[in-house]
Structure 1
Amino acid sequence: MSDGFDVVSESAIRDGTATDAYFLRTEETLRAADRNPHVVAEVTRDQFPTGEFDLLAGVKDAANLLSGLSIDADAMREGRLFDGGPVMRIEGDYLDFARFETSLLGFLSHQSGVATAALETRRAAPDSSVLSFGARHVHPAIAPMVERGALVGGLDGFSHVAAGEVLGREASGTMPHALVIAFGDQETAWEAFDEAVAPEVPRIAICDTYSDEKDESIRAAETLGDALDGVRLDTTSSRRGDFRHIVREVRWELDARGYEDVDIFVSGGLGPANLRELRELADGFGVGGYVSNADPLDFALDIVELDGEPVSKRGKLSGVKQAFRTPDGGHHVGLADRADPEGGEALLEPLIRDGEVVRDFDVDEAAERAREDAELVGFREEA
């Protein structure tokens, strides 16, 4: 048994051996035939608009993967919503990028799925603090990808420390049930945390370890007094009952005792529907599996032009295409050399020219772009 982790190295991704075997055999065959056509290839999910938008993320990693290759590439910006048609276009000699297709699609597909779920969550509680708590559900090697996708989708922060080091963000989170159990009683654990942890860390007490949420929240407030910033309810679903009623009850009892400034944070198996139900009562949420476990989007890469002539495999659309956002929030897909829709904004923009990345990446700008686009297109509006 190997002592190492089952992780593909960065060098394997960069040299293109993190790929499907048939791409290497394609290279071998084309080289043996002394053939290397000039192509345009497009990355798409759906060929035509379906009325269901998704959020694009992973472009930064995709650009880093393709950097240095003898290609040009255009792509939508991170944080743009799309509905059919290309999200990325690559032009070059096929053998210059063929082996990178597997990793390219993986970068785009997985983080876009995470970011789309994060945006759904953000839209469900637009005025609340929402943190990504789902790193424990994924392979630790990809935690930074998950947390970055969560940020692109508009979440306020995340819990994973190493991901924070990669992304240049400080991880959030205070105490688990294990801390209370390790001390044997709630008050001792809360007091020990307050004495040990840096003062800039919020005092958010976990309040459902051994007894009723209301009881523990009152005891936390009485134990820590003005030092207490909030309580967190992370009750397992098997014990939860009517969670909305529980949160209302906790809020009532804290207010009745003069603890109006103590916030209530809720976590534990939450999704957008839960946030909509609780957003008027809770001050913040920790969302785990709904974001981190999101299905990757089913992107594919297809050659659409061969040596200057439009081509496509069966079921795909030939010719170089462009996608547009129309002023009414619509998504239009058409051939790139035809007239633009009236007032349409072209969404595919230069990403790489002669192998050099010509775009900067800022996760906050991407999140703001996603917020604005979601408003314009009516992304996942409530029924």
Structure 2
Amino acid sequence: MSDPSPLLTDLYELSMLDAYAADGMDDIAVFELFFRALPPGRGFLVAAGLEQAVEFLETLRFGADELDWLRATARFDRTFIDSLAAFRFTGDVDAMPEGTVFFADEPVLRVTAPLPQAQLVETRLLNLIHFQTVIASKAARMVLAAGGRQLVDFGLRRAHGAEAGLLAARAGYLAGFDGTATVAAGRAFGIPLFGTMAHAFVQAYADEATAFRHFARSRPAGLTLLIDTYDTEAAARLVAALAPRLAAEGVTIAAVRIDSGDLGAHARAVRGILDAAGCAAIRIFASGGLDEAKIASLAGAPIDGYGVGTALATAADAPALDCAYKLQEYAGLPRRKRSEGKATWPGRKRVVRRHGPGGTIEADTIARLDEAVPGEDLLRPAMRGGSRVAGLPGLEAARGHARRALARLPEALRRLDPGRAEVTISPGLRALAREVDRALAERLARAAGLA
């Protein structure tokens, strides 16, 4: 992926940096990124987007043309703009590895860096982590619903822009999809590519039989024929008749695709037609308006795989989550936001997971970083001194991590109407919040006395 401009940010990030520079505010700050709540129908989320976040932080630079444009706006102090020429991210990042299952309020990523650096990166980090996490979480539900049947991303044409389509393919693959139809995702991320044919191809020929023969001879590898352009069952009979003739030419029909109508009923009829003709090896692939609920409803149908588009690439039922990036510490002192309905827990934190029998996820605890809590730490080093740590997992490793994480979900969280995970706040973190509140009250009282 090409590096986006550092101007792909909110105006207030630059406004705050200008003000920080004027006041010499450059001590170490700690920000944490988390999701405040799970949407209805979600029992968990799947962390994704860390690879792109790290790439963004490693390559963040202001070019001469961007600095010239900022000067021309006359919005900022020129000395401040000049200083941006040397801007680099030099901080540390700790994060949940991609593919980690997590829950509401748990820090997914922590940035520790000089305040201006940690502040500027807020908007793009949220943009990258939020989107892929939304898609990976949706994809994971489809993976669970599919029960091991093939899943392919068909979502590019309905995605909200080119980058969204590309990253949706990545997030879906990370969460357990088998591949994508998006060619650029195959090039960028090494995701397996799958494709069939469009109805237009069939319509362009005088009849289906001719269309099928020409496509088969042109594209014999992994051949899948689309059979619902006119009459699904009639086309299935054509395929059954054509299969031995093509086999004599060394061409094997791998699958047929059904893209409309009652997918379960059509699949049962097509399976009967193919089996009766000795074509039991031809698989049935279904697409057309599918989501996890529809996939689950087709569990008893003879369908071997699914193509999913809109519901995946737009996470249609929950396209946006309440994701935040908040200051937790500055200049060595814990900080806490007290806004109504949006209060945060102060300081640097751990997320510690306890597992039950067979490795099943049992409960999580959010605790102070220096607090002794037994269990597995979910936040791991991702960057140190502005560079990624050695051995930061890539996409295939993240995919394996997601597969293991989903296998460890308790049954109550695997359902499409899930229960809620047990997440507790540690005594040490609650005590720290009380200390921060007392200190804030004292400062406010002193300030009021000076007013």
What TM-score, normalized by structure 2, do the two folds share?
A: 0.77
Which residue pairs with 1:334 in the alignment? Answer: 367
1:29 to 19, 33, 44: 19
The alpha carbon displacement at 1:278 in A equals 2.0
Which residue number corresponds to residue 350 of structure 2? 322
Structure 1 position 362 matched with structure 2 position 394: yes
Structure with bigger gyration radius: 2
Residue 228 in structure 1 maps to residue 253 in structure 2: yes
Q: 1:303 aligns with which of 313, 327, 331?
A: 327
Partner amino acid, structure 2, of 1:337: D
Aligned length: 363
1:251 matched to which residue of 2? 271
For 1:46 and 1:306, how far apart are their aligned partners in 2?
22
1:153 aligns with 175
SS at match of 2:403: helix
Deviation, structure 1 residue 178: 0.9
**What does the per-residue CA deviation read over 1:39-87, in whole Å, with 9 as the maximum and x for residues that have no partner?**
1110011289x99310000000111122261101100100001113101
CA deviation after TM superposition for structure 1 residue 170, in Å? 4.2
Determine which structure has greater relative contact order: mean sequence separation of CA pairs < 8 Å that are 6+ residues apart, divided by chain length: 1
Alpha-carbon distance in 2 for matches of 1:170, 1:373: 22
Look up the match of 2:377. 346
Aligned equivalent of 1:141: 163
TM-aligned CA deviation for residue 145 of structure 1: 0.8
Q: Partners in 1 of 2:145 and 2:365 — Cα distance?
A: 27
Report if the CA contact (8 A) 1:207-1:217 is conserved: yes
Q: How far 1:109 moved relative to its partner?
A: 0.3
For 2:193 and 2:409, locate their aligned partners in 1 and report how far apart those are by CA, in whole Å. Answer: 32
The structure 2 residue matched to 1:177, chosen from 186, 189, 199, is: 199
Cα distance in 2 for partners of 1:47, 1:228 equals 47
Deviations 1:235-267 (A, max 9, x none): 1xxxx2x43222111111221222211111100
Question: 1-side partners of 2:118 and 2:50: how far apart?
Answer: 16
Q: Counterparts of 2:213 and 2:177 in 1: how far apart (Å)?
A: 30
Q: Find out whether 1:285 has 2:276 as its counterpart.
A: no
Structure 2 gaps, min length 5: 59-87, 418-451
Matches within 5 A, 1:98-109: 98-109=119-130
Aligned position for 1:3 = none
Shift of 1:31: 1.0
1:214 maps to 2:228: no
Instruction: Decide which moves more: 53-62 or 143-152.
Output: 143-152
Q: Distance in 2 between matches of 1:216 and 1:375?
A: 39
Alpha-carbon distance in 2 for matches of 1:31, 1:175: 57
Q: In the alignment, which residue of structure 2 is the partner of 1:263?
A: 283
Q: What does 1:163-174 correspond to in 2, within 5 Å?
A: 163-174=185-196
Q: State the distance in 2 between where 1:9 and 1:194 align.
A: 37
Separation in 1, partners of 2:188, 2:2 = 16
1:59 equivalent in alignment to 2:50: yes
The range that moved more, 39-48 or 182-191, is 39-48
What corresponds to 1:122 in structure 2?
143
Post-superposition offset of 1:356: 1.2
SS at the partner of 1:377? Answer: coil
1:138-182 superposed Cα distances (whole Å, 9 cap, x missing partner): 112332211110111100000011221111234210211110011
Once residues 336 and 9 of structure 1 are traced to their aligned partners in structure 2, the CA distance between those partners, rounded to angstroms, is 35
Between the aligned partners of 1:29 and 1:248, the Cα distance in structure 2 is 67
Paired with 1:346 and 1:97, the residues of 2 have a C-alpha distance of 23
The change in CA–CA distance for 1:249 and 1:323 in structure 2 (over 3 A counts) is: same
Q: TM-score, normalised by structure 1?
A: 0.90
Once residues 363 and 11 of structure 1 are traced to their aligned partners in structure 2, the CA distance between those partners, rounded to angstroms, is 21
Q: What is the aligned partner in structure 1 of residue 3 from structure 2? A: 10
Q: Show CA shifts across 1:261-301 (max 9, x none).
A: 11111001111122222234101111111111111433211
Give deviations 1:8-42, integer Å, cap 9, x for gaps.
97240xxx211000010001111112222321110
Structure 1 gaps, min length 5: 1-7
Q: Which contiguous aligned blocks of 4+ residues in structure 1 show a shift greater than 4 angstroms? A: none
Superposed CA deviations along residues 87-132 of structure 1, whole A, max 9, x for unmatched, are 1111111112322211111110001111111111111112211111
Check whether the contact 2:348–2:368 (CA below 8 A) recurs between aligned residues. Answer: yes
Q: Which of 182, 191, 211 is the equivalent residue of 1:189? A: 211
Q: Distance in 2 between matches of 1:23 and 1:76?
A: 25
Q: Distance in 1 between matches of 2:2 and 2:256?
A: 41
Cα contact 1:144–1:167 (8 A) shared by 2:
no
